[in-house]
Structure 1
């Protein structure tokens, strides 16, 4: 049984697992409460960050690496084009840009805005991280002006990576969507796999509800098991 520890970027992994229809267990991890006494989690990842994956004897951290592992281990899947497919370069680029260019930058912006002392919330590093986020957002928007999904005409794991980052940025108040982004996010979040993911990820769904004052149309489907 695949066990995933923690939501946050782990949302990407759950979404992939749901799209691939793989059985898994989602084990919550409360970082805000502290993980000092969470011995089960710390045995998997002593560094104490999420997500972390256990799959038999395999232990992994880092959401994109976990996604690539699951695709390679349990594929093939239409969520990842063949390396010889003309869409593969775009797929590979946006799979990683969703973290390296978007979510990683967003982490420092939201950390400064939500956790830093008042005088440090608009510091130089936070502004630089926001500039990085916006420049990579521009790369995404230019691609979406050409194709409905980031690797072309078909939804792939690259869309899971990037859509997660865009949705997190909107929930954090870092950005509002323009028409292109709004249509793109609507296409991705209308998928049954996304709705099952929202039903499984209680913390993410609660964050969404607290920001927008509504319940996401996620249904009540349980995580696969």
Structure 2
């Protein structure tokens, strides 16, 4: 059975596992309390960030890499179009853009706004990171003007990647979405896999709902 360590971006992994119907266990990691005494977790990821997984003798970190591992190891799955499928290029692009273009930028904006001293909460780097998020979001918006999902007509793991980042933007940074992004988020939230993942991820549910 796959053990998922930590929520945060680990929500992506749990959501994927729910969509694929795979058994797993979510193991809490409390970063705010400090992880120096969490020997089990540090043995999985000595760098001390989440998420991470353990699957038999396999350990991995980085949410998108974990998703690709699960899809490759336990697929094939319609959540990952085959390389010869016409939907594959868009799928691959948005799978990675969800983290590299969206969530990674939001991480620094959120840190500045919530954790930095007052004088540093709107610094140059935070503004630059927000600009990066905004430009990459325009690719998502343009895609949704042409198709209901990131890879086209069907829901894929790329939507899990992007969907998590949009929720992060809404809650952590206060981004307000209109058409066509808000209806897209509503479609994602209606999925039973999303709802089951949110039921499992108690901290995520409390944070997004607060």
Structure-2-length-normalised TM-score: 0.99
Q: How many residues align?
A: 210
| Residue correspondence of structure 1 range 183-198 to structure 2 within 5 A | 183-198=183-198
User: Structure 2 stretches of 5 or more lacking a match?
Assistant: none
Q: For residue 207 of structure 1, what is the aligned residue in structure 2?
A: 207
Which SS does the other structure have where 1:172 is aligned? helix
**1:174 Cα deviation (Å)?**
3.4
- Is the CA contact (8 Å cut-off) linking 2:109 and 2:173 kept in structure 1? no
RMSD over aligned CA atoms reads 0.6
- Is the CA contact (8 Å cut-off) linking 2:29 and 2:41 kept in structure 1? yes
Q: For residue 218 of structure 1, what is the aligned residue in structure 2?
A: none
- Is the CA contact (8 Å cut-off) linking 2:106 and 2:173 kept in structure 1? no
Q: For residue 223 of structure 1, what is the aligned residue in structure 2?
A: none
**1:172 Cα deviation (Å)?**
1.3
User: Structure 1 stretches of 5 or more lacking a match?
Assistant: 211-225
Give every structure 1 segment of 4 or more consecutive aligned residues whose post-TM-superposition deviation is greater than 4 Å. none
Q: Distance in 2 between matches of 1:52 and 1:86?
A: 31
Q: Distance in 2 between matches of 1:173 and 1:102?
A: 12
Q: For residue 58 of structure 1, what is the aligned residue in structure 2?
A: 58
The reply to whether residue 117 of structure 1 matches residue 117 of structure 2 is: yes
**1:25 Cα deviation (Å)?**
0.3
**1:59 Cα deviation (Å)?**
0.4
Which SS does the other structure have where 2:151 is aligned? coil
Q: Distance in 1 between matches of 2:28 and 2:167?
A: 20
- Residues 112-144 of structure 1, C-alpha deviation per residue, up to 9 Å, x if partnerless? 000000000000000000000000000000000
| Residue correspondence of structure 1 range 36-185 to structure 2 within 5 A | 36-185=36-185
Structure-1-length-normalised TM-score: 0.92
